[in-house]
């Protein structure tokens, strides 16, 4: 199963036709993807299951329908256990960016984190996961496939947000501040964090 986000609403890609009564299930081969995306974007559709009995065909078919942008990024820890966040478009995010020709995805991820924050000395620990979301560029819907790596650094210098990319802030955040930031982040970003980070801080819990 895959989750492909349109804003913060996931389209489910699965091998099961029936995943719940609230879901509209559509064979991915015949799905009018752009029409579905438009309805989800407008808030006219919330629960969509695009299915195929062969799991390998799910992403393969989606990528035939939408141009794919490959990107890489990082969930970066410093020696204090703090996490590197950026703020863009009013929301907290993690540094990431589009792959360039001839780069490995690991090279892309390190370069983009460095460019967006001016952090140095990055070391990749492991691949966390690949996330998918749909964006609109020049009037065309595209699928963004982002490869996320856990990274570490001993860097203690100044972080500098890449203003030309619309980044307003680059900050190290401890556990408590990370929890707060995730409440003003994106659903696909939350997939990268250990579960304990997703427990709402008591001050912000709905009573």
Q: What is the pLDDT of residues 108-140, one digit of tens each?
A: 999 999 999 999 999 999 999 999 999 998 889
Work out the pLDDT band at 203, boundaries 50, 70, 90: very low
User: Taking Cα atoms as reference points, which of 64, 150, 155, 137 lies closest to residue 98?
Assistant: 137
Its pTM stands at: 0.90
Percent of the chain residues past pLDDT 70, beyond the cut: 96
Residue-wise pLDDT tens digits, 142-172: 999 999 999 999 999 999 999 999 999 999 9
Alpha carbons 36 and 183: distance in angstroms, whole number = 27
pLDDT tens profile 17-41? 999 999 999 999 999 999 999 999 9
Amino acid 200: pLDDT = 59
Q: What is each CA distance from 183 to 58, 176, 177, 179, 192, in whole angstroms?
A: 30, 11, 10, 7, 14
Domains and CATH numbers, the chain: 2-65 (no CATH), 70-204 (3.90.79.10)
Output the CA torsion 148→150→155→159 (10° steps): 30
Residue corresponding to tokens 């560029």: 137
Are 162 and 116 a contacting pair, CB within 8 Å? yes
Which residue in this structure is represented by tokens 């029936």? 18
């Amino acid at each position: 199963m895959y989750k492909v986000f349109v804003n913060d609403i996931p389209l489910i890609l699965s091998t099961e036709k029936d995943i719940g009564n609230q879901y509209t299930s559509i064979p991915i081969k015949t799905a009018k993807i752009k029409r579905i995306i438009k309805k989800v974007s407008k808030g006219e559709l919330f629960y969509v299951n695009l299915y195929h009995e062969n799991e390998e065909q799910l992403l393969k078919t989606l990528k035939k329908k939408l141009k794919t942008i490959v990107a890489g990024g990082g969930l970066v820890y410093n020696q204090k256990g703090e996490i590197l966040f950026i703020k863009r478009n009013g929301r907290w995010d993690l540094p990431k960016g589009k792959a360039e020709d001839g780069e490995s995805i690991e090279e892309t991820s390190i370069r983009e984190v460095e460019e967006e924050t001016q952090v140095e000395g990055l070391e990749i620990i492991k691949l966390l996961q690949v996330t998918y979301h749909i964006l609109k560029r020049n009037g065309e819907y595209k699928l963004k496939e982002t490869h996320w790596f856990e990274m570490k650094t001993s860097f203690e210098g100044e972080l500098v947000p890449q203003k030309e990319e619309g980044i307003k802030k680059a900050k190290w955040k401890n556990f408590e501040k990370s929890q707060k930031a995730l409440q003003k982040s994106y659903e696909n970003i939350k997939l990268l964090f250990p579960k304990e980070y997703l427990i709402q801080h008591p001050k912000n819990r709905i009573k």
